[in-house]
A and B are shown apart, each in its own frame.
Chain A
Amino acid sequence: MKEARWRNVFLTIYLIFALLPIYWMVNMSFRTNDDILSSFSFFPKQLTWANYAVIFTDPAWYSGYINSLIYVAINMVISVTVALPAAYAFSRYRFLGDRHVFFWLLTNRMTPPAIFLLPFFQLYSTVGLMDTHLAVALAHLVFNVPLAVWILEGFMSGIPREIDETAYIDGYTFPRFFLTIFLPLIKAGIGVTAFFCFMFSWVELLLARTLTSVDAKPIVATMTRTVSASGMDWAVLAAAGVLTIVPGAIVIWFVRHYIAKGFAMGRV
């Protein structure tokens, strides 16, 4: 089919475009700083693993990854869990102030994080949660929960209400209906929501850096400290960048079936 060929050509071109800068980052990660700054070479002429060695051996580096993973995971779980019932409510019912609450939620997503900086700093200092994973996880709820509710509501509204009603007629209780019938139908929405919550929390820098110092310092903060007396440490930064992609790639690998399967109506 001619159309399939055009699609594949377009897809291939886009993937090349998408992967070139990443390839360049991988390229840089296998070279030394001097090498990077002095010459242009498509393939690293002298391959070195030194940059990766730094990251795997220096606790300042690898603990950054672990810290980030911890608070991002906490945040992801809370965001999706709390958003599911709320999204269902917005999707299926009208109640007092529903449109306003929904828009208020969106406003939290559209707020520049800088606004929350000082107040969060004071708040978490006061309750003694400074420099903990929990603090960052909770702080990130501000923008992730609204996003989760927003996306999930969109997918839920795509499921006809007749399905709910048929289930009740067939004698399902609400929890059983929600878990066994409804959630599988919005798999794609859940997959995409989980991934975005992961992603936005993983890359967030301002709040994560402000609320932590040593114990819970995330990888994003560590990566801004790569300037030393001899200048910017491009090579190690590139290696760190390559490694940053890995957890996210794993997450999307896990949710791939959710996103790709979609609407399996089956026999209701």
Chain B
Amino acid sequence: MLKPVNQKAWWLVLPVIICVAFSAILPLMTVVNYSVQDIISPERRVFVGTEWFVSVLRDEDLHAAMLRQLAYSFAVLAIEVPLGIALALAMPADGWRASATLVLVALSLLIPWNVVGTIWQIFGRSDIGLLGAALLAIGLDYSYTGNSTHAWLTVLAMDVWHWTPLVALLCYAGLRAIPEAFYQAARIDGASRLAVFRYIQLPKLRGVLMIAVLLRFMDSFMIYTEPFVLTGGGPGNATTFLSQYLTQKAVGQFDLGPAAAFSLIYFLIILLFCFVLYNWMQRVGTASAPATGDRGSA
């Protein structure tokens, strides 16, 4: 199913480019500009080239924060994607139950992120929070402020609670887009429930899953507010992820040059990972037997 070439399609894309470009290109130029200068004062700027970039990349603490971040993002994806798919499959497809479930599932997405952190702060305390008190009652010595592992798990639980509905909603919409005829044909073919999932639902969810995985990856990679409010990065720097680390450095130094350099490096790292992930997912989708012109999207 080859797409025809049509240069006039540019007209359809133009509004989008206008909206995004004036927002994106100018700022980016500005940031690049700052990142290669030492701005001692508005009048005195010295061109320092790649000095900031080098010092940032050599920073050992940065490497540690990066590893923590990668572990976190990986854990987030490993839990939220299967859970989201399972949730989408479990949600009713029609009737008042569908509407009610949709609203209930979507609630956690709507809470401002600092409030999310705040709620879990209280929620997790053994003295006044439901979660803390419950764990204490079972006999667990739970403390997200004192114990690194507990802090990690709490931050993870908070993220899963907060963001799984995103995956679930995307998959749910994707499932609704599968025509009934496919399920009917599968029944006639005598397919088992597992076969229906494997050969009909999962392939048709490929598009939305790619969106969900990339979105969750980049958002978890940039995560700042929620863990910051909940644990402040601690205990120690156990839950200090990349964005918090870079912000600490930038705010601490109060210097536009290094701050801009940090921002750019951060952006480039995400860009690199997403680029790789994106292409890998495209290839996986169109791989296996000799394809005859089947293209993924874009």
Contacts and interface: CB of A to CB of B under 8 A. Distances in A.
Nearest to A96: B7
B112 A153 contact: no
Interface string A136-163: 0011011001110111011101100100
Of the candidates B169, B181, B243, the one having the most CB atoms from chain A within 10 angstroms of its own CB is B169
B5 interface: yes
A120 B222 CA distance: 19
Nearest to A245: B110
B128 interface: yes
Contact of A108 (B24, B91, B98, B103): B24
Interface string B155-177: 00000010001100110111111
Contacts of B17: 101
Contacts of A119: 26-28, 30-31
Interface string A229-259: 0001010011011001101110011001001
A37 B264 CA distance: 42
Interface in B192-220: 193, 204, 207-208, 210-211, 214-215, 218
Given A199-B109, A203-B112, A259-B173, A154 B207 contact: yes
A8, A149, A158 interface centre (most CB from chain B within 10 Å): A158
A1 B86 CA distance: 18
Contacts of B27: 115-116, 118-120, 123
A103 B275 contact: yes
Contacts of B172: 259
Interface residues of B, number: 97
Q: What secondary structure prevails in chain B residues at the interface with A?
A: helix
A199 B110 contact: yes
Given A141-B19, A256-B102, A191 B7 contact: no
Given A116-B27, A122-B30, 16 more contacts: A18-B108, A21-B119, A21-B161, A37-B128, A82-B15, A88-B12, A90-B297, A95-B7, A109-B215, A119-B30, A147-B215, A154-B211, A244-B115, A249-B110, A260-B99, A262-B176
Q: How large is the interface on A (under 10, 10 to 19, 20 to 34, 35 or more residues)?
A: 35 or more
B225 A205 contact: yes
B297 A42 contact: no
Interface in B12-44: 12-13, 15-17, 19-20, 23-24, 26-28, 30-31, 34
Contact of A82 (B1, B16, B34, B278): B16
A259 B112 CA distance: 24
B1 A161 contact: yes
B118 A234 contact: yes
Interface string B60-101: 000000000000000000000000001101110110001101
A205 B112 contact: yes
B179 interface: yes
Interface in A96-131: 96, 98-99, 101-103, 105-112, 114-116, 118-120, 122-123
B135 interface: no
A103 B15 CA distance: 17
A112 B193 CA distance: 42
Interface string A1-40: 0010001101100110111111111001000000011111
